[in-house]
Amino acid sequence: MMGPLISAKQLQNVEALVEEAVAGGEGAAFTGGRRMSGTSSLDGIDFGKGYFFEPTVLVSAGGGGDILKTRIWREEAFGPVVVVAPFRTEDEAIALANDSDFGLGAGVWTRDVAQAFRVSEQIDAGIVWVNTHHRNDPSSPWGGAKSASGVGSENGVDAYHAYTTTKSTIISFASPDEALAVDDWFREGAGDVRYG
């Protein structure tokens, strides 16, 4: 069981994206596709009182690439929905992965380590997981590779650079007369002062 979505508005958004794909004839819900109802057998929660949506797998209704015509293929649902698109070759799979305005994360599932490296190098995403998902070392950068994904880089040294700016503050406590005598970096013979 999954927990609820964050709000009623988000539940409505996920539901609309799924319904649109199915009603338009391009997508079919392999599993899920509806708001949850009833009571949880695990803890007695009434699903009707929360923002629960069934974990959903959407596939092409006709078995081809019709699912690629849907809005849910183009937008981030931020809900328990995965869209499965067919491909025949590795190059097709890479093209599908890169056919998005978003580039935060991607996943590659393979037994071939050479293929894992080859494919992950070609996917335009800030992080690529191989044979796992959403595992990240805190020192490993986390951020999108495209402008529509994320707001910079999190974690590690990249986060430090993303959230800081180098700045120099120079304060002189010299009197105006002293400042005129020693602060003129462009006076005759001051090259060592300027260039260290």
Task: List the domain boundaries for the chain.
Answer: 1-86
Express each pLDDT in 182-196 by its tens digit. Answer: 766 667 766 665 555
How far apart are alpha carbons 134 and 117 in whole angstroms? 18
pLDDT number for residue 30:
96
Where residue 174 falls among pLDDT bands split at 50, 70, 90? confident
- Helix extents (H) in 3-75: 8-23, 71-74
Q: What is the arithmetic mean of pLDDT over 112-117?
A: 97
Task: Tell me which of 21 and 146 has the higher pLDDT.
Answer: 21
- The per-residue pLDDT of the chain, averaged, comes to 88
pLDDT number for residue 180:
74
Cα 68 to Cα 26, 86, 137, 155, 172, distances in angstroms: 8, 10, 33, 33, 64
Angle made by CA atoms 82, 38, 76, in degrees to the nearest 5? 20
Cα 158 to Cα 41, 53, 77, 141, distances in angstroms: 44, 35, 27, 6
pLDDT number for residue 192:
65
Q: What is the arithmetic mean of pLDDT over 15-27?
A: 96
Q: What is the pTM of this model?
A: 0.74
Superfamily name with CATH number, domain 1-86? Aldehyde Dehydrogenase; Chain A, domain 2 (3.40.309.10)
